[in-house]
Amino acid sequence: MNNPEWVTELFASIDSMNTDKFVSFLTDDSAFTFGNSPSAIGKETVHNVVEGFFQSIKSVEHTDLQTIGSGDFIVVRGNSKYTRHNDSTLTVPFCNVFGMQGELIKDYRIYIDLSLLYA
């Protein structure tokens, strides 16, 4: 499966650290789980969590995106390159699983190991 246009736009919003655009891909009652952090529920809460994360890094870039889907689930995997505020970088693989409700993401789960990001 090629990356649908909305997947490309979603990751562009993340890479540009545009929180408002990012949450536009979510349902109002969405659940967002980033790694082993507690789930954020609701678009406003997700906005606050993602905005806080964006402030903790200088930049992020996603590459090598591959997408598969079945029914109401879409899986995207690839690599995330994080640039810290001191300009050092960390690149790690990730896997996102999206539970869809129509054209929007209702359940957004990110599987990633960021244990070295703040080390």
User: Where do the domains of the chain lie?
Assistant: 5-112
* Cβ–Cβ under 8 Å, residues 35 and 110: yes
pLDDT averaged per 10 residues, the chain (length 119): 85 98 98 95 98 98 96 96 98 98 97 94
pLDDT tens for 25-47 read 999 999 999 999 999 999 999 99
CATH of domain 5-112: 3.10.450.50
**Phi/psi class of residue 80: alpha, beta or left (left: φ > 0; alpha: ψ in -120 to 50)?**
beta
- pTM: predicted TM-score of the whole model, two decimal places: 0.94
Going by their DSSP bridges, the two strands 26-34 and 104-112 should be labelled as parallel
88-118 as b/e, with b when 16 or more CB fall inside 10 Å? eebeeebebbbbbeeeebbbbbbeeebeebe
Q: Which two tokens stand for residue 73?
A: 């689930």
